[in-house]
Amino acid sequence: MTKTVLLAGTHSGVGKTTVSMGIMAALKKREMDVQPYKVGPDYIDPTYHTAICGKPSRNLDTFMMQVDGIRRTFSKHANNDINVIEGVMGLFDGMDSTEIASSAHVAKSLGAPVILVINVHGMSRSAAAIVKGFSEFDREVNIAGVILNRVGSPRHAQMIKDCIPDIPVVGILPRNQEISVPSRHLGLYMAHEQDFDASKLADFIEQNIDLDAIISIAESAPDIKPAKEEKLPESDVKIGVALDSAFCFYYQEMFDSFREAGAEIVPFSPIEGEVPQVDGMYFGGGYPELYLKELEHSRTTKVLKDISADGMPIYGECGGLQYLSTSYEVEEKTYRTADLFPAETVMTKKLQALGYTEGTAKGDFIKGTIRGHEFHYSVTNCASDARLSYEMKRGKGIRDGKDGITEHNSLASYTHAHPASFPVKSFVEKCREYKRS
């Protein structure tokens, strides 16, 4: 039996992340094998899921991965005691005015029952109207339970329960300011940056949510045949992955895809000045702007230009793009960065881009449709003769509807790509060619 439940909210900010983390922690406390998932292009929440559950959280996104893609990912990892999927935004909020990339779309694609989290602060009977509207808006979505968050008192809770006769209320959470995930300037802190107390969160959930009801709802999900486990090929190339507090935005699926293509992942820290002996490098997104002083004096920063000129394939995304540019200006102070590309990055106070991206790549080894997302408070000003290899159908990119700056065998973009469309095999093959040269 494939026990599965999707935890969704009526909108962002209702406590969905805290509830999801708490339920995962409480189920783990029962010694259940919990496989976590996150709907949408999120790097941060999955780090908490992973820390709590002891196994990598997987992203499910029907825009970047398509429906078949999320089903493949789910079937590869669903062989466990229970699958817990944290939704994104409001249940029906998708790309533009469509259902694509919404929690509802994922729930329908997997047949997963939904538990709806509602922030009931300042309302009583209106909560019933919300439940009725959500349950009838798309009857293909099975809303099987409701969790009331920020309840003021037992009387407040009872009033709301009396108004919702058709769908069981499986949790009533009192207001608790201590149970939350702190935020930073561009989002939440990563799990490794926080000493959050999972046991305290589990206790809070156990006291206020009917876990047996959650498990029962999860049992109503359709059985999904696990994908056949394929043996990984023996690795014949090494790819260095920048992995520290400055570069920490990665999809687990990207690492898996590298390994499936025959590459060994070698983590290293640019902050610490590490330069691994590898055949290619990958710089993900993150928070390089917080560590520019360290990065400016890092040995990694000083040698990357020569490594790139030698022909090593180097790929960067967002924070990676910023770092691989010539300089990075933050609060009117300019720092020298790796200088792989003829471009200068400036941090801005205004959000420059947020949303899904789609482009056609026409580079030397990155070709075809690339789907991903972008989120940045910066602009990257390229030299007039800079080569931009992505023609954007959707999203802002670097400039003039283009993204993907290229120099030698190095490529960087504002687009955070997903391996469902990013040509991992081509990149790994380019690393092989470099190794043989």
The alpha carbon of 139 is separated from its chain's Cα centroid by a whole number of angstroms, namely 28
Q: Would you call 382 a catalytic residue per the annotation?
A: no
Exposure string for 111-147, b = 16+ CB within 10 A, e = fewer: ebbbbbbbbbeeebeebbebbeebbeebeebbbbbbb
- What single-letter DSSP state applies at residue 289? G
Residue 167 burial by CB count (10 A; 0-12/13-18/19+): exposed, middle or buried?
middle
- What single-letter DSSP state applies at residue 295? H
Q: Report how far residue 131's alpha carbon sits from residue 143's, in angstroms, rounded to the nearest whole number.
A: 9
**Number of residues written out for the chain:** 437
400 — phi, psi (to 5°)? 50, 40
Beta bridge partners of 379: 346
Q: Which residues contact 207 (CB under 8 A, 6 or more apart)?
A: none
H-helix segments, 38-87: 45-53, 66-77
Contact between 22 and 128 under an 8 Å Cβ cutoff? The reply is no
Contact between 58 and 38 under an 8 Å Cβ cutoff? The reply is yes
Report the helix count and the strand count for the chain, using DSSP H and E: 13, 25
Helix axes 126-137, 154-163, angle to 10 degrees: 40
Strand, helix or coil for residue 386 = coil
- AA letter at 195: D
53, 163, 248, 318: the active-site residue:
318
Q: Does an H or E element contain 371, and which? A: strand 367-376
Catalytic residue set = 318
